[in-house]
Each structure stands twice: as structure tokens, then as C-alpha cells.
Amino acid sequence: MTPAPSVRAVPPADRWLRRFRPVSGPRLRLVCLPHAGGTAGAFHGWADALPDDVELVAVQYPGRQDRFAEPCPQDMGELADTLAGALLPLFDAPVALFGHSMGAALAYEVTLRLETLHRAVPSRLFVSGQSSPTRPRRERDLHLRDDDALLAGLLELGGMDEAVLADPELLPLLLPSFRADLRLIETYRPRLTAPVRAPVTACVGDADPDVPVADAAAWADLAATEFDVRVFPGGHFYLVDREAEVVADIAGRLAAVR
């Protein structure tokens, strides 16, 4: 059984992808998928920290910032179908995927589609801050709570700018994407949990309240070839406080890719 391809037209890739430092003829592209409620800008600082021959391409989900007028994604499978199509033009060079939290689950789904439907195998899949789909799910219902309880849950996880969340003019614009993304990941149930051919690295914070190290290490069950796990100091958003260390570690793992 393989994921069914979408019959919907794929939007132009430039609606989905942001390049903060375009690279001519890159040795490799690193595609980064943000967390629930996140934007492409979460990876802005990574672009200049990567080697000069690596191009960072960040995904911008609908329903936020310059895509505010578009509806937020409602189905993980449909989102993965569309994003896989938008990434195909990048495969004139090797492509690695990095996804954090909700973005990790989406990166896995996109990798499945790239490999099974498009014969495009990423050079590596990084799944960060997300338990393996093979592990029993920890039930969460933030998307069903009222606004105050939803925001309290996000603040507990960390990684959110408290000043932004306290802005009475900005907050109503952000809440719909927060709620929609949380619903997407909290109701995520994979149609297929199959190993991917791409090498897999699982990244996790040693104090993540949502993702025990053992649950991150269980991504090994979905790696058909190479797998390793990297544990960083910190919580769910360890990659914010440890940005330089995380980017250096990723760059080191991709150094041999040509």
C-alpha cells in the first residue's frame, strides 16, 4: 500500500518555499519544515550558518504571514501530497529534509511520497522533536481548548515569543494557524507506517516533556538503511537555544553528500 497521489493541482513552488540565501549550483539543499504555528522564518538564522555550497529552503505553510489569505491545512495526507510535488523541482541537486515537531511528521510523510510516487530519495531525513509514529501516541487536545488554555499549553512547551502572544492586535491573527496546526498533528494517524530508504537522524532534547528519548529513538523502526539519534541539551525547542550546535551537527552529517 502506498499513499494515494493528490488529484489537485500543485500550487507554484514559490508559494511554499523561501530561500533566505540563494545559492547558485548548490551541492545540496536542506529543506526545513517548521513546527505547529511556525513559519519559514523560524530557520532564517540557519542559512548563513550552513556551508556556502548548501542552500537552505524553508517551507511556508498556508494561513500565515504572506499566505494569510489561504486556508490553513486540514489534512496531513493532502498537505504531504502537495508539498512533495512542490519539492520535486529541487531534486536537480541532492535534497535533505529537516522537520521539527509537527514538521517532523510531515517530513516523514513527504519522504514516503517522494520515494514511492516520484522515485526521489532524499539524502537524509532529520526528524526533530517528534515521537516515532510506531510508538503509542500521547493524547493531546490543545486544539479543542479555549484560546487561553491553548496558549498556556504552547507556552509550556516553550519556543513561543511571549511578547507576541500578549499582543492584542497580533494574537487574533495567529490563533487560527496555531489551532489548525495543532489539530493537524494532534489528530495525525498515519495511513501507512513504512520504512523510508533515506538515512534517518532523530533529534531530541534531553528534557523534552512531550518526546522521551526512547520515543525519538524508535524512528529506527522506520529507517530501512541508516539510522542514528542525536540528543541535545534542552526541552522541546532545544534547537532555538542550541541553534549553532544543531546547524553544525546537521552540516557535519551532510558533508559527504555530493
CA–CA separation, 151 and 165 (whole Å): 8
Question: Does 236 participate in catalysis according to the annotation?
Answer: yes
Burial class (CB in 10 A: 0-12, 13-18, 19+), 258: exposed
The CA-atom distances, in angstroms, between 229 and each of 26, 127, 137, 147, 200 are: 27, 9, 20, 35, 8
b (16+ CB within 10 A) / e for 131-168: bbbebeeeeeebbeeeeeebbebbeebbbbeeeebeee
**Angle of CA points 238, 244, 247, to nearest 5°:** 85
The secondary element (H helix, E strand) that includes residue 93 is: none
**Angle of CA points 148, 145, 163, to nearest 5°:** 30
Q: Which of 35, 100, 101, 131 is catalytic?
A: 101
Q: Which of 35, 100, 143, 236 is catalytic?
A: 236
Residue 253 near residue 27 (C-beta atoms within 8 A):
no
Closest CA to 140 of 121, 153, 126: 153
The secondary element (H helix, E strand) that includes residue 105 is: helix 102-118
The CA-atom distances, in angstroms, between 53 and each of 16, 32, 171, 202 are: 22, 16, 38, 24
Question: What secondary structure letter does DSSP report for 137?
Answer: P
Question: Does 101 participate in catalysis according to the annotation?
Answer: yes
Catalytic residues: 101, 236
